[in-house]
């Protein structure tokens, strides 16, 4: 989940203006701590965010340097545990994204050989392992030994003092080489350097590279040199990095949803039309259709299942981390993976598992050229653009828009062209109302969100947002399950949000049941009345999108009232690249 960036140039670059500004573009991957090292032997690191770190350190120059922004797994959030790590002689420096599974075994062996460890991390074994191997081998042979001996996931950058070369190794965690005019970038994803170049080379598992200021060479795990394809990408075409006049990226990205959804619909009508029609044909002709995803993407997949099942297509979905335990796939299965980043480890692992069993692979992603996209037979891009806030807003909406469009090709009735306008209307008409409601909810410890059918997945997604950003215990649940336990938790003043599309009398009854037990009812509805009605104004597949957008606004304004770190909530990262 961490972010790593390395730079090699034919002239000296600014650590602050070049290296750390590139790293900041990856801060969504983790922001517990930050650090950098160069081949002059200079090391700086500390806990906290990159902006604060950049203010604290003096700028320096080097022609070769590496950097890291951390999401802690092994070892607490401390300056000592921050990356980079080094060897006993402080001549070898590494940054690492991933988890070394057998680190304790390796660490014990190295301690027996008099290596001294100073951190609690699994990553520190990398520098000491290589130090030990380099006593009798060159770097290529040492890396080959590393790949054979080390178990786990890793994207690693290595530098040596007084040697302007970066060594890079990849297994399961993402890693890419960016080819700019006067420098090479090595990074966790293309966003680190997409403002500087649109040319990239993607590492595959158990590959490593040696990169200096003039050239790069790639090798397989046996040390045999391999040729790699250069990709040209267009990620910057709609890039909007600046928060502009908004106080937070989250509210900015909520307000971008009319534009983002229109951009996707235009793409599906245009350059991606043949692709999505091909996916529709695969669904029609497959004996089994299964989805997998995680987090918000999973709730989007639940809506996809609802749309398809309503038109008689048997489809299923399952959380990616448990996919191999509860789902069967074979050569007759169409496997559809959904992921914002295309790098979510559980989704990538489930996709590999399905691919090994002969399934046809389709992916729906936001980040082009991601691992998931490169594994797929067909990949659809949702064109939401870069999303800086950890919480999924416009990416969730565009995932659902893509699934609605796909379902419409197969017979689900929906007017796609009205979606952007409806989103715009719902935001403008309800934002002030939602802000007022948020004022009354910011001190609540529990909120329940009820939904049935079309509105069950949105209830889960709204609850997730309230947990992630507002730090409120929230449960999204099926209205029909209310009486099977949860109603015992309802007491005077407990907030319950009821999602009621059209004349859903069963859902209305569920709301009245908890109201009778003292709950404070808030309805998102377009026909039913209540004392706290929020008007969603639509009664088809779009209701799912619009109700979630209101939930996004509610989450934002509760968190704003509580003065919480909205764009960077505690303990979370946007791209979950560890299991």
Residues serving a catalytic function are: 2, 574
Residue 78 φ/ψ region, left for φ over 0, alpha for ψ in the -120 to 50 degree band, beta for the rest = beta
Q: Which of 491, 489, 490, 521 is nearest to 507 (CA)?
A: 521
Taking a C-beta distance cutoff of 8 angstroms, is the pair 315, 483 a contact? no
The residues, any chain, with a CB within 8 Å of residue 84's CB and separated by 6 or more, are 35, 36, 37, 43, 45, 66, 67, 68, 93, 94, 95
How many CB atoms sit inside 10 A of residue 153's CB? 23
> Is the alpha carbon torsion for 512, 513, 515, 516 positive or negative?
positive
| 515: exposed, middle or buried (Cβ count in 10 Å: 0-12, 13-18, 19+) | middle
Strands 378-381 and 85-86: unpaired
Q: How far apart are the first and last CA of the chain?
A: 10
Taking a C-beta distance cutoff of 8 angstroms, is the pair 384, 282 a contact? no
**What residue has token string 């565009």?**
398
What DSSP element (H or E) covers 145?
Answer: helix 139-149
For 96-144, the DSSP string reads: EEEEETTHHHHHHHHHHTT----SS-STHHHHHHHHHHTTTS-HHHHHH
3-state helix, strand, coil in the chain (%, to 5): 40, 25, 35
- Label residues 88-103 b or e (16+ Cβ within 10 Å = b): beebbbbbbbbbbeeb
The residues, any chain, with a CB within 8 Å of residue 26's CB and separated by 6 or more, are 3, 4, 5, 69, 187, 188, 189, 191, 192
């Amino acid at each position: 989940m961490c972010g790593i960036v390395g730079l090699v140039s034919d002239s000296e670059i600014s650590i602050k203006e070049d290296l750390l500004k590139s790293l900041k573009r990856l801060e969504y991957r983790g922001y517990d701590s930050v650090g950098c090292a160069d081949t002059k032997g200079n090391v700086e690191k500390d806990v906290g965010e990159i902006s604060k770190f950049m203010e604290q350190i003096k700028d320096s120059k080097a022609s070769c340097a590496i950097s890291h922004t951390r999401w802690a797994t092994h070892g607490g959030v401390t300056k000592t545990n921050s990356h980079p790590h080094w060897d006993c002689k402080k001549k070898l420096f590494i940054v690492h994204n991933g988890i070394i599974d057998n680190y304790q075994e390796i660490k014990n062996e190295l301690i027996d050989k008099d290596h001294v460890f100073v951190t609690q991390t699994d990553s520190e074994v990398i520098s000491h392992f290589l130090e030990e191997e380099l006593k009798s081998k060159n770097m290529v042979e040492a890396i080959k030994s590393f790949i054979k001996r080390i178990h786990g996931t890793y994207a690693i950058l290595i530098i040596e003092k007084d040697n302007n070369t970066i060594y890079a190794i990849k297994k399961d965690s993402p890693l890419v080489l960016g080819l700019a005019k006067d420098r090479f970038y090595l990074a966790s994803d293309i966003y680190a350097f997409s403002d500087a170049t649109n040319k990239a080379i993607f590492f595959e598992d158990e590959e490593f590279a040696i990169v200096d200021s003039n050239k790069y060479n790639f090798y397989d795990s046996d040390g045999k040199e391999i040729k790699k394809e250069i990709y040209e990408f267009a990620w910057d075409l709609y890039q909007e990095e600046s928060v502009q006049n908004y106080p937070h990226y989250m509210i900015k990205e909520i307000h971008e949803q009319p534009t983002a959804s229109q951009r996707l619909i235009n793409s599906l009508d245009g350059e991606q039309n043949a692709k999505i029609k091909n996916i529709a044909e695969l669904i029609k002709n497959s004996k089994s259709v299964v989805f997998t995803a995680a987090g918000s993407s999973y709730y989007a997949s639940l809506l996809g299942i609802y749309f398809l099942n309503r038109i008689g297509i048997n489809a299923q979905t399952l959380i990616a981390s448990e996919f191999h335990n509860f789902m069967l796939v074979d050569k007759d299965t169409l496997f559809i993976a959904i992921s914002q980043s295309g790098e979510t480890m559980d989704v990538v692992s489930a996709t590999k598992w399905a691919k090994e069993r002969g399934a046809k692979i389709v992916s729906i992603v936001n980040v082009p050229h991601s691992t998931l996209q490169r594994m797929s037979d067909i990949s659809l891009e949702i064109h939401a653009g870069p999303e800086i806030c950890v919480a999924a807003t416009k990416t969730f909406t565009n995932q659902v828009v893509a699934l609605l469009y796909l379902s419409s090709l197969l017979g689900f009735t929906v007017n796609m062209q009205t979606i952007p306008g409806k989103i715009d209307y719902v935001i403008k008409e309800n934002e002030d109302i939602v802000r007022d409601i948020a004022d009354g909810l910011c001190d609540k410890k529990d909120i329940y969100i009820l939904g049935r059918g079309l509105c069950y997945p949105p209830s889960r997604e709204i609850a997730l947002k309230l947990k992630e950003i507002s730090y409120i215990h929230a449960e999204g649940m099926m209205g029909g399950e209310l009486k099977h336990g949860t109603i015992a938790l309802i007491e005077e003043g407990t907030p319950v949000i009821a999602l009621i599309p059209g004349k859903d009398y069963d859902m209305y009854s569920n709301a009245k049941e908890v109201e009778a037990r003292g709950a404070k009812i808030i309805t998102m509805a377009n026909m039913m009345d209540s004392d706290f009605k929020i008007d969603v104004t639509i009664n088809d597949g779009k209701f799912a999108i619009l109700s979630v957008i209101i939930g996004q606004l509610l989450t934002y304004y509760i968190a704003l009232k509580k003065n919480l770190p909205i764009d960077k909530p505690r303990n979370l990262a946007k791209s979950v690249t560890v299991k």
